[in-house]
């Protein structure tokens, strides 16, 4: 069983140091990959670059840099791609990105930018080829309907366009109900798409915050999850133990369905992920 994890660019020097320390501590899980999210604004963009360089120096594993279409012209996107290639990045996670006003706001492409993510995928591959460099492109996938998508079928159409443009991996939005991931896997197979599907797993750092975030993303909250955490309300230690138990069961159930690779949303914290992976690897032969 293999694990990768996601981090985001910190906004302060203290956060930067916390992230550096977390990267070192997470080497114990032998990650296959660290992905670094991307901020499109000027200051956020520089923080993204700094965090990618930090990961290059301290994560001890390959680095995947996120890139979005939000708020940038085609020329600006090309410049970011070239910068990542200059850093030796060989894996980019190409995303549309959320509007600055939030996930619920209508998406407005930059007037001189890419209109769709498949165009971004193609641009990443083209820029790498022009430089004679190899590149892997991952994209997003949604076990449950994207909040702005009309149907699940439309979501598959969008994913198909990204795969046809050259994406070879799809990492999913967080989910708590495994049946939604397995249904997505079936839809992809029925469509005949050749893409590695990686489940995105959110270990619950804070139950209330995780539930609120899931609701904003359109991820359903199983009644079993609510029951599981009911006894831990107000008890941080009990909540942490319940989080490890729940997420371990979720991952092991997916592993029983033939899933071997998992992408963990770390929130820049190492302890919960280290404890989770240790519990999983210490449990029989998984």
Q: Active-site residue 6, yes or no?
A: yes
Among 3.40.718.10, 3.20.20.220, 1.10.357.10, 3.40.50.1820, name the CATH number for the domain at 2-281. 3.20.20.220
CA dist., res. 23 & res. 21, Å (int) = 5
pLDDT of residue 134: 95
Average pLDDT over residues 223-230: 87
Structure tokens, 212: 């609120």
Predicted confidence (pLDDT) per residue in 257-286, tens digit? 999 999 999 999 999 999 999 999 987 554
263's enclosing H/E stretch is strand 261-265
Structure tokens, 155: 């979501």
pTM assigned to the model: 0.93
φ and ψ at 234, to 5 degrees?
85, 0
pLDDT band for position 195 (cuts 50, 70, 90): very high
What are the structural domain ranges in the chain?
Answer: 2-281
State how beta strands 200-201 and 2-7 pair. Answer: unpaired
**Which of 6, 17, 53, 224 is the catalytic position?**
6
pLDDT band for position 42 (cuts 50, 70, 90): low
pLDDT of residue 101: 62
pLDDT of residue 40: 63
């Amino acid at each position: 069983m293999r694990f990768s994890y996601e981090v985001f660019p910190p906004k302060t020097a203290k956060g930067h140091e916390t992230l550096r320390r977390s990267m070192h501590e997470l080497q114990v899980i032998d990650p296959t990959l660290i992905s670094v999210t991307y901020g499109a604004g000027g200051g956020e963009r520089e923080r993204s670059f700094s965090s990618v360089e930090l990961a290059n120096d301290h994560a001890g594993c390959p680095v995947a840099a996120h890139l979005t279409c939000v708020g940038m012209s085609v020329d600006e996107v090309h410049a970011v791609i070239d910068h990542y290639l200059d850093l030796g990045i060989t894996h980019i996670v190409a995303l549309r990105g959320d509007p600055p006003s939030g996930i619920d706001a209508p998406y407005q492409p930059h007037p001189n930018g890419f209109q769709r993510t498949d165009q971004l995928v193609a641009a990443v591959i083209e820029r790498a080829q022009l430089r004679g460099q190899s590149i892997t492109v991952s994209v997003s996938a949604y076990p449950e309907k994207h909040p702005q998508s009309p149907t699940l079928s439309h979501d598959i159409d969008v994913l198909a366009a990204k795969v046809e443009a050259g994406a070879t991996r799809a990492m999913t939005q967080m989910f708590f109900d495994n049946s939604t991931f397995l249904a997505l896997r079936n839809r992809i197979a029925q469509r005949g798409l050749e893409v590695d599907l990686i489940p995105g797993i959110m270990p619950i750092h804070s139950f209330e915050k995780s539930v609120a975030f899931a609701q904003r993303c359109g991820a359903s909250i199983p009644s079993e999850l609510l029951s599981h955490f009911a006894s831990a309300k107000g008890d941080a230690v009990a909540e942490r133990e319940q989080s490890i138990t729940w997420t371990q069961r979720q991952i092991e159930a997916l592993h029983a369905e033939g899933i071997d690779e998992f992408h963990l949303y770390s929130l820049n914290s190492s302890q919960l992920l280290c404890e989770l992976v240790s519990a999983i690897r210490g449990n029989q032969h998984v």
